[in-house]
C-alpha cells in the first residue's frame, strides 16, 4: 500500500453509482478529529422525480478560493495539494470560505465557530490506507487509487478535474467520473 | 398472561428504544483499542467482514477489514453503526419478570430458569408437548440454529418450532428444492462480476444488500446489461439498462411471457434441456397461450420492454439471475421462483463460469440457519423431518430414540393462529420480533395476549418481548463464537470480541442451562461453540447441505469455505452444478409449470389501491436493533407512504399530508411522500416500525401453500386524506413503537 501511495493515489467520484446510503457520512464522522460531524454529504437531487443522489465533498482545488478569501490565513494547502480545514487557532468564523467555494463545501460549525472540511483523511492516507469514505463506499462511487487503475477498471468513463463556473476555471485534485471523452464540466 | 403489564410509554421509558449516539470525542479508548477483532456484520446475508475495536471488554468502534475478499472493507451505514448496540442504554443486563401494573422487575437467573421450567412442565402436563411453541431466528449462528433445532425436539419435545426465515427465504428454498433438489445460490458472487446480462427481480439491492452493488457495477463496467424488475425505481433500477415496472403480484406472468418468447425464438439450449432437465414440455405447455398483449395487460409492463428483456436474456452469452423478497413474499412465492429458474434452465446457463442464479438471502445467517433443523419440517443437513431414514440418522447423532422425535410442526404464522385458537399455550422466542415482522399484527397481538406463559430470550426488549412473562437477558452477535453461512454459501467465522455485560448470558449458555433443567443436560454437554459445530458437521454429513469437511481451522485458513464440503480434504464448492449432477431424485434439473394466478387480495372497488411493503437502507428488518442507533433512525425517522403524483392527485394528496391507509385488517396513518418513482396503481410503506405506525397492521396473513411465506408484497388498501399535515419529521417518535 505504501508503495502505491507513491504512485500518486487519487480520489475519484462517480455520481451515477451513488446509492444514497450515507455509509460515507457515518464513517467520516467516526474520525477522531471530526467530533462526529461528517465532512462529506449526500443529497437527493430532486426526490419527487428521482432517487438520484449527489456527493458533496471538498474537491481540493489547485487554487482554492476558500484559502484565497480567508482573511486570517487559516486555510493552507500542503505539498501534496491537500487543502486543510481552517486552523483552529486562526479561524475567526467569518464564513468567507463558505460563501466563496464554488462547490459549496465548507461548513461553518456554528457551535465551534469553526470552518471544517475534508482533509482527505490525512491520518489514514499518510500510512497507506484509503480515506474512510472511499474505503466503506459500498458501490465504490467514491474510489481511491491510481489513475491507471481507474482507467482500466472503468473503461466507460473518464476522470475530469477541470470545471468552468461562468468564466471561472477551476482545477481540482479530486476527479469526477464523466462519460467517455469528457474533458471539462461546465456549470452555468 | 402475555398482556403488557403497564402502558407502552412506561415500558419505553425504561427499556427504549432509545437512540444511541457515539459521543463527540468518541467512546473512551476508541483511538487506543486493546485489540481489533476480525468478525462479520450482524445484519444481512452479505456478511461483510469488519473489525471491531475493543477496549476494556467494550466495543468502542470499528475498522474496515480490507482483506476479507467479499467486501474488502466496504460497508453500508448499518455496518458502520452496528457497534452502537454495544454500550447501549437499553441493553438487557439481567433476567426480568413481568409484574402486573408495575412493568418488569429484575430476578435472579435461578428464579427465572425455575419459573420457566416449571411453566413448561405445567403446560406440557396439562395440554401436551405440542402446546409449547418456539420461534427462533436466523441472525443466530449455525451453532445456535442447530442447538435450537435440537433443543425444541429433544428438550421441549415439541413439534412446533419455526423461525423468522419463514418471512424471508422459504419460497426460494422450496423453489430451489423443486428445481435442483438443493437450496443454495448456485454460484459465488465472483461469477456475478463477469456475467454479460444480469436480471434482478424483486430486490432493492441498493438498500437491502448495498455491498453487492459493487459486483453489479464491476460487471457493467465490462459491458454487462442490467435488467431490473420492480414496482419502484430503486437506486439500482434508476441506472438499469432496462427497467420493468411490474405490477405487484404479477411476476410469474412476466417470466412466463419471457419463457414463451425464448421458445418462439428458439433461444434455448436444446442439448442442456435434453440431457440434464425434465419437465420442459409441460412447462412450456403452461405458457403456450401467453402473448405480449396479455402480459402487458396483466403486469403493466409495456410489451416492448418485455420483448427487449427476453431478447437480452435469450441472446446472452453469460448471465446471472438474482431475486429476493419482492417476488418471494407472495401466496405464489414458490411459483415466482420456479418461473425465474425456468428462464435459467431454458438457456442452460448454470453450472459454468459466469453463469449463475440465486436468491439473495436476506438475513445474516439466512442461508445456514435454514439448513440445520431450525424449521418446522426440517432436520440438520437440510433433511426432512418426515423422512424415516433422515429421522433415524439424526436420532442417532442426538442419542435419542427415533420414536421420541416429534414430527412436522406448524410454520411461524400458522403457530400464531394456533396460539389464537388456544392450542398453543406457552411460547419461547429468541431472535424473532413477530409483533413487528409478521403480517396482520393486530391478530398477532391478540394471539400473544392469550398465551398462558411467554419467555423471551433477547438482548433488547423488543416490541414482542414487552409481552413476555420472563425475559432472559441473552447475548449480542459479538459476544459468542460461531459460524454463519453467507448468501453465496460461504461458511465464515463469527468471533466473540467481548463477554456479555452485567448478568447477561450467552444464548448458548441459556439454552444449555434450560436443557439441563429440563432433564436432558447430557444431550447438551458442549464445552465450546466448536463442539457444537463438530456435532453439526456430523449431523449434516450426507445431507444436501453437507458441512462435514468444514472445520474452524479450514475456515480461518481460507477466509471461509463454500458448502457442500463432504470431506476434510475437499476444498468446498463455490460454483454448483459443474458436474450436472442435480440433487433431485432423477438427478436432473426440473422445469416446473407456474401458471399465473391472482394474488390473495386483488384491488377492488372498496379497496382500489395496491399496497406493497419493503425496507429502507438505514433500518434492518423489525428494527429492534437499528431503531436504537441514533444516526440510523435520523436518516429515515418514520415510515412514509410513497405515492405517485397521478394517484395522489386523485385524492388531493400533497407531500407530507397525513394519509390514513385502510385495509381489511386495520388502519394506520403515514405522511405522504409524493414521488414519480413508483407505479401509479401502487403505494409503498417500509415495515421496520411497530405500534401505531406499523405497516404490518395492514398486510395480509395469506400464505403460499408450499412455503407458507406470508404475502407481504401485495394486498388491497384504500387511502383517506386526514386533511392534516404530518408533524416535523425529526420530532417523530415512530422508532419507539408507541
- Give B46's Cβ-side CA count (13 Å radius): 28
Residue B153 is classified by DSSP as: I
Q: CA B143, CA B373: separation in Å to the nearest integer?
A: 11
* Interchain pair A22, B23: CB under 8 A: no
Longest pairwise C-alpha distance within chain B: 71
CA–CA separation, B337 and B328 (whole Å) = 7
Mean pLDDT of A90-101: 90
pTM for this predicted structure: 0.97
- Which chain B residues are within 8 Å of A52, Cβ to Cβ? 238
Cβ proximity of A75 and A64 under 8 Å: yes
State how far residue B348 is from chain A, nearest Cα, in angstroms.
Answer: 29
A-chain residues near B211 (CB < 8 A)? 138
Is the pLDDT assigned to residue B241 strictly greater than 50? yes
How far B72 CA sits from the closest chain A CA (Å)? 8
For helices B251-264 and B303-315, the axis angle rounded to 10 degrees is 60
Partner-chain contact B238 A26, CB within 8 Å: no
pLDDT tens, B79-117?
999 999 998 999 999 999 999 999 999 999 999 999 999
Count each helix (H run) and each strand (E run) in chain B, helices first: 25, 28
Q: At what angle do helices B388-398 and B529-540 cross, to 10 degrees?
A: 150
- How many angstroms separate the CA of residue B245 from the nearest CA in chain A? 14
Domains of chain B: 19-85 (3.30.200.210), 96-168+365-562 (3.40.50.740), 170-359 (3.40.228.10), 609-736 (2.40.40.20)
- The pLDDT tens digits for B65-83 are 999 999 999 999 999 999 9
Residues 28-57 of A with CB under 8 A from B: 29-30, 32, 35-36, 47-53
CB contacts, 8 Å: B26 with chain A: 30, 32
pLDDT average, residue stretch B228-255: 98
- pLDDT(A35) > 90: no
- Paired with A168 in beta bridges are A165
**B585 in contact with A, Cβ within 8 Å:** no
Min distance A24 CA to chain B CA atoms (Å): 8
Give all strands (DSSP E) within A57-146, no chain letters: 107-109, 114-116, 142-145
201-220 of B, contacting A, C-beta below 8 A: 206-207, 210-211, 213-214, 217-218
Contact B76 A21 (CB under 8 A): yes
How many angstroms separate the CA atoms of A30 and A32, rounded? Answer: 6
Query: Does B217 sit within 8 Å of A17, measured CB to CB?
Result: yes
Chain B residue with Cα closest to A23: B77
The reply to whether B240 touches chain A by the CB within 8 Å rule is: no
Which residues of chain B does A17 touch, with a Cβ-Cβ cutoff of 8 Å? 213, 217, 239
Name chain A contacts of B53, Cβ cutoff 8 Å: none
Do the Cβ atoms of A21 and B206 come within 8 Å? yes
User: What integer pLDDT is reported at residue A79 of this predicted model?
Assistant: 86
Q: Does pLDDT of A5 surpass 60?
A: no
Please check whether residue A119 is in contact with residue A106, taking contact to mean a CB–CB distance below 8 angstroms: no
Chain A positions in Cβ-Cβ contact with residue B28 (cut-off 8 Å): none
pLDDT digits (tens, 9 = 90+) for B357-387: 999 999 999 999 999 999 999 999 999 999 9
In 3D, which of A10, A18, A54 has the Cα closest to residue A151? Answer: A10
Q: CA–CA separation, B615 vs B326, rounded Å? A: 11
> Given CA atoms B496, B497, B499, B505 in this order, what sign does their dihedral have?
negative
Residues of B in contact with A51 (CB under 8 A): 233-235, 238, 677
B637 — pLDDT class (breaks 50, 70, 90): very high
Task: Note the ipTM here.
Answer: 0.96
CB B620 within 8 A of CB B138: no
Query: Is A22 in contact with B26 (Cβ distance < 8 A)?
Result: no
pLDDT of residue A31: 87
Which of A54, A138, A141, A152 is best to mutate for the B interface (most B CBs within 10 A)?
Answer: A138
pLDDT confidence band for A2 (50 / 70 / 90): very low
* DSSP states of B435-456: HHHSSSHHHHHHHHHH-SEEEE
Question: In 10 A of CB B492, how many CB atoms?
Answer: 23
Residue in A with minimal Cα distance to B655: A48
- CA B168 vs. chain centroid, Å, equals 4
Nearest-Cα distance to chain B for A41, in Å, is 12
- DSSP, res B500: P
Residue labelled with grid coordinates 457495477:
B217
Going by C-alpha positions, the residue among B200, B233, B234, B230 that lies closest to residue B216 is: B200
Percentage of chain A lying above the pLDDT 70 cut: 94
What is the distance between the alpha carbons of residues B170 and B705, in angstroms, rounded to a whole number? 11
Residue of A nearest to B223 (CA): A156
* Mean pLDDT calculated for residue range B505-531: 98
Shortest CB distance from A35 goes to which of B25, B217, B221?
B25
Q: Domains of chain A by range and CATH?
A: 2-187 (3.30.70.20)
- Chain A residues in contact with B71 (beta carbon < 8 A): 138
From chain A, the residues in CB contact with B80 under 8 A are 23, 26-27, 30, 136
- Contact B425/B123 with Cβ under 8 angstroms? yes
- Contact by Cβ (8 Å): A92, A80: no
pLDDT tens track for B562-616:
999 999 999 999 999 999 999 999 999 999 999 999 999 999 999 999 999 999 9
φ, ψ for residue B365 (rounded to 5)? -120, 35
Contact at CB, B239 and A16, closer than 8 angstroms: yes
Could you report the per-residue pLDDT of B2-14, keeping only the tens digit for each?
899 999 999 999 9
Amino acid at each position: 500500500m505504501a508503495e502505491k501511495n507513491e504512485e500518486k493515489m487519487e480520489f475519484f467520484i462517480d455520481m451515477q453509482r451513488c446509492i444514497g446510503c450515507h455509509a460515507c457520512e457515518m464513517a467520516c464522522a467516526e474520525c477522531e478529529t471530526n467530533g462526529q460531524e461528517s465532512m462529506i454529504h449526500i443529497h437527493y437531487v430532486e426526490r419527487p422525480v428521482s432517487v438520484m443522489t449527489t456527493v458533496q465533498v471538498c474537491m481540493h482545488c489547485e487554487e482554492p478560493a476558500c484559502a484565497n478569501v480567508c482573511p486570517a490565513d487559516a486555510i493552507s494547502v500542503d505539498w501534496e495539494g491537500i487543502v486543510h480545514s481552517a486552523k483552529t487557532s486562526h479561524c475567526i468564523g467569518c464564513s468567507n470560505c463558505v460563501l466563496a467555494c464554488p462547490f459549496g463545501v465548507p461548513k461553518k460549525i456554528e457551535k465551534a465557530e469553526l470552518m471544517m472540511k475534508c482533509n482527505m483523511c490525512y491520518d489514514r492516507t499518510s500510512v497507506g490506507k484509503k480515506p474512510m469514505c472511499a474505503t466503506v463506499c459500498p458501490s465504490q462511487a467514491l474510489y481511491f487509487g491510481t489513475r491507471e487503475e481507474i482507467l482500466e477498471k472503468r473503461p466507460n468513463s473518464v476522470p475530469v478535474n477541470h470545471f468552468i463556473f461562468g468564466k471561472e476555471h477551476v482545477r481540482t485534485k479530486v476527479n469526477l467520473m464523466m462519460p467517455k471523452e469528457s474533458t471539462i464540466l461546465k456549470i452555468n | 398472561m402475555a398482556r403488557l403489564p403497564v402502558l407502552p410509554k412506561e415500558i419505553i421509558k425504561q427499556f427504549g428504544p432509545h437512540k444511541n449516539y457515539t459521543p463527540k470525542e468518541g467512546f473512551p479508548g476508541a483511538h487506543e483499542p486493546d485489540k481489533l477483532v476480525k468478525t462479520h456484520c450482524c445484519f444481512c446475508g452479505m456478511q461483510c467482514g469488519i473489525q471491531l475495536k475493543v477496549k476494556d471488554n467494550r466495543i468502542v468502534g470499528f475498522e474496515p477489514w480490507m482483506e476479507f475478499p467479499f467486501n474488502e472493507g466496504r460497508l453500508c451505514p448499518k455496518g458502520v453503526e452496528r457497534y452502537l448496540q454495544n454500550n447501549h442504554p437499553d441493553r438487557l443486563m439481567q433476567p426480568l419478570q413481568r409484574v402486573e401494573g408495575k412493568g418488569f422487575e429484575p430476578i435472579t437467573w435461578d428464579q427465572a430458569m425455575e419459573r420457566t421450567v416449571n411453566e413448561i412442565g405445567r403446560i406440557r402436563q396439562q395440554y401436551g408437548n405440542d402446546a409449547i411453541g418456539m420461534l427462533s431466528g436466523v441472525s443466530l449462528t449455525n451453532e445456535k440454529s442447530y442447538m435450537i433445532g435440537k433443543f425444541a425436539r429433544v428438550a421441549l419435545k415439541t413439534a412446533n418450532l419455526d423461525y423468522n426465515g419463514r418471512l424471508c427465504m422459504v419460497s426460494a428454498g422450496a423453489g430451489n428444492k423443486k428445481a435442483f433438489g438443493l437450496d443454495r445460490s448456485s454460484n459465488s458472487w465472483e461469477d456475478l462480476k463477469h456475467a454479460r446480462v444480469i436480471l434482478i427481480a424483486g430486490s432493492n439491492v441498493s438498500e437491502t444488500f448495498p455491498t453487492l452493488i459493487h459486483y453489479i457495477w464491476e460487471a457493467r463496467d465490462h459491458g454487462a446489461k442490467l435488467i431490473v424488475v420492480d414496482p419502484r425505481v430503486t437506486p439500482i433500477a434508476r441506472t438499469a439498462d432496462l427497467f420493468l415496472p411490474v405490477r405487484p403480484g404479477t411476476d410469474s406472468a412476466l417470466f412466463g411471457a419471457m419463457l414463451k418468447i425464448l421458445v418462439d425464438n428458439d433461444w434455448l439450449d436444446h442439448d442442456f434441456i435434453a440431457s440434464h432437465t425434465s419437465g420442459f414440455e409441460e412447462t412450456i405447455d403452461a405458457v403456450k397461450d401467453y402473448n405480449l398483449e396479455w402480459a402487458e395487460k396483466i403486469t403493466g409492463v409495456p410489451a416492448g420492454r418485455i420483448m427487449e428483456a427476453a431478447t437480452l436474456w435469450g441472446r446472452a452469452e453469460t448471465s446471472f439471475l438474482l431475486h429476493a423478497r419482492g417476488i418471494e413474499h407472495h401466496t405464489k412465492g414458490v411459483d415466482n421462483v420456479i418461473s425465474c429458474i425456468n428462464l435459467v434452465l431454458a438457456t442452460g446457463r448454470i453450472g459454468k463460469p459466469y453463469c449463475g442464479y440465486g436468491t439473495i438471502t436476506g438475513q445474516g445467517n439466512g442461508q445456514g440457519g435454514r439448513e440445520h433443523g431450525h424449521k418446522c419440517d426440517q432436520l440438520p443437513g437440510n433433511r426432512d423431518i418426515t423422512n424415516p431414514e433422515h429421522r433415524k440418522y439424526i436420532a442417532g447423532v442426538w442419542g435419542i430414540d427415533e420414536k421420541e422425535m416429534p414430527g412436522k410442526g406448524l410454520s411461524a404464522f400458522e403457530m400464531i393462529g394456533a396460539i389464537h385458537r388456544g392450542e398453543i399455550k406457552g411460547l419461547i422466542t429468541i431472535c424473532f420480533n413477530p409483533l413487528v415482522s409478521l403480517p396482520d399484527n393486530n391478530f398477532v397481538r391478540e394471539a400473544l395476549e392469550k398465551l398462558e406463559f411467554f419467555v423471551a430470550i433477547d438482548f433488547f426488549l423488543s416490541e414482542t418481548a414487552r409481552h413476555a412473562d420472563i425475559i432472559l437477558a441473552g447475548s449480542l452477535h459479538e459476544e459468542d463464537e460461531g459460524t454463519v453461512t453467507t448468501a453465496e454459501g460461504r461458511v465464515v467465522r463469527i468471533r466473540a470480541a467481548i463477554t456479555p455485560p452485567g448478568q447477561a448470558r450467552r444464548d448458548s449458555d441459556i439454552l444449555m442451562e434450560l436443557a439441563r433443567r429440563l432433564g436432558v443436560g447430557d444431550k447438551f454437554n458442549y464445552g465450546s461453540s466448536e463442539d457444537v459445530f463438530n456435532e453439526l458437521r456430523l449431523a449434516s454429513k450426507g445431507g444436501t447441505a453437507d458441512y462435514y469437511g468444514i472445520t474452524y481451522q479450514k475456515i480461518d485458513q481460507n477466509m471461509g469455505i463454500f458448502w457442500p464440503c463432504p470431506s476434510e480434504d475437499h476444498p468446498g464448492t463455490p460454483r454448483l452444478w459443474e458436474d450436472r449432477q442435480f440433487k433431485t431424485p432423477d438427478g436432473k434439473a426440473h422445469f416446473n409449470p407456474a401458471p399465473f394466478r391472482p394474488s390473495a387480495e386483488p384491488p377492488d372497488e372498496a379497496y382500489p389501491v395496491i399496497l406493497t411493503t419493503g425496507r429502507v437502507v438505514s433500518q434492518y428488518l423489525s428494527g429492534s436493533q437499528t431503531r436504537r442507533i441514533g444516526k440510523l433512525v435520523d436518516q429515515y425517522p418514520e415510515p412514509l407512504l410513497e405515492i405517485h403524483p397521478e394517484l395522489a392527485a386523485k385524492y388531493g394528496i400533497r407531500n407530507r399530508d397525513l394519509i390514513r391507509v385502510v385495509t381489511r385488517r386495520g388502519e394506520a396513518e403515514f405522511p405522504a411522500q409524493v414521488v414519480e418513482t413508483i407505479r401509479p396503481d401502487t403505494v409503498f410503506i417500509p415495515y421496520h416500525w411497530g405500534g401505531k405506525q406499523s405497516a404490518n397492521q395492514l398486510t395480509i396473513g395469506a400464505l403460499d401453500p408450499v412455503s407458507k411465506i406470508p404475502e407481504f408484497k401485495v394486498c388491497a388498501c384504500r387511502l383517506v386524506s386526514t386533511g392534516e399535515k404530518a408533524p416535523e419529521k425529526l420530532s417523530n417518535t415512530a422508532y419507539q413503537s408507541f
